[in-house]
Amino acid sequence: MISEEARAHEQRLRERRENPPEPPEGMDPVAAARLANDMFGSWATDPGVERREVSAGGTRAIWVDVAGSRPDRVLLYFHGGGYMIGSADHVVPMLGHIAGAGGCRALSVDYRLAPEHPFPAAVDDAVAAYRWLLDEGIQAASIVIAGDSAGGGIALAAQLALRENGQPLPGGSLPISPWADLRCAAPSWTTNAGSDMILSKQRLSDLAELYLQGSDATEPLASPLLGDFRGLPPMYVQAAGGETLLDDCLAVTALAARAGLEARLDVFAGMQHVFQYCAGNMPEADDAVARIGAWLQARWAGR
């Protein structure tokens, strides 16, 4: 039985899917999609964060601090949006809740978006932000690299790039509903099509094409599910039971386990894609954030 708040959230999403906002006349479709996303706003309550903009390796980013934040423990975060929409600002309220639960600070990265900046621009920006943290004196073991949806894919791909370049790897990885295979071919794209109020196979396939712009979808930095996870740090994956990306989440966790990683997966039945964005407004989101906080605290224990 899901909460009334979760049912209300699903209904809002259903109404938006069935009655999408009309774009302003003459506006470019990409700009219209970004405007619609911004107008929908954040679903999380703002727990009272301190935010400060920085340039993280040449990329705009936002430090998110709350009471009790440890400056030497960092959640490096990449927002979702299919590589085309979203921003570092949009996830700040949610990151405030996660930082409070995990006793850390968060760095939300405004990586470059497609179609203006196609693959691998987003991964390059992620790697640059991570290296910037190291240059700032943050220990690799005290960084957890994270993201949701496309941002979860970026978090995974960045680790593959860091390992191939001989860089020290982070202390953990937190992909939330990661989009890890840009081929969009898993069964849940069909079986969960009726329950996912946010994503569709056609929509994500179109976004993949905009992001790849001719690059091969089987390239591991584009589809990290097709990469080699050996040597990566412990991983915690969260997924919604009704989302079309469920099989990506299951496959990522299975691949991590086969590679010998300490891998954990929590699937929240009846939830929508990245429901964690509702932290402070939905008990299921608060439960998910509390689990993330406990996992982060365990990762940093003794450091």
**Residue from 87, 90, 188, 243 carrying the catalytic annotation:** 243
Write down the catalytic residue from 69, 149, 177, 188.
Answer: 149
User: Does 79 qualify as catalytic in the annotation?
Assistant: no
Distance of CA 103 to the CA centre of its chain: 19
**9 is an active site residue:** no
The pairs formed by 25-34 with CB atoms below 8 angstroms and a separation of 24 or more are: 30/84, 30/115, 33/84, 33/85, 34/84, 34/85
**Does the annotation count 200 as an active-site position?**
no
Q: How many residues does the chain have?
A: 303
Count the helices and strands in the chain (H runs, E runs): 9, 8
88-247-266 Cα angle (round to 5): 70
* 197 touches 13 (CB < 8 A): yes
**Taking each helix axis from N to C terminus, what angle separates 283-300 and 92-102, rounded to the nearest 10 degrees?**
50
Q: How far is residue 220 CA from its own chain's centroid?
A: 17
Widest Cα–Cα separation across the chain: 57
Task: Estimate to the nearest angstrom the gap between the alpha carbon of 299 and the chain centroid.
Answer: 19
Q: Where are the alpha helices (DSSP H) in the chain?
A: 4-18, 29-40, 92-102, 121-135, 150-164, 188-191, 201-212, 246-258, 283-300
Q: Which of 79, 90, 97, 273 is catalytic?
A: 273
State the first-to-last Cα distance of the chain, in angstroms, to the nearest integer. Answer: 39
Residues tagged active-site: 149, 243, 273
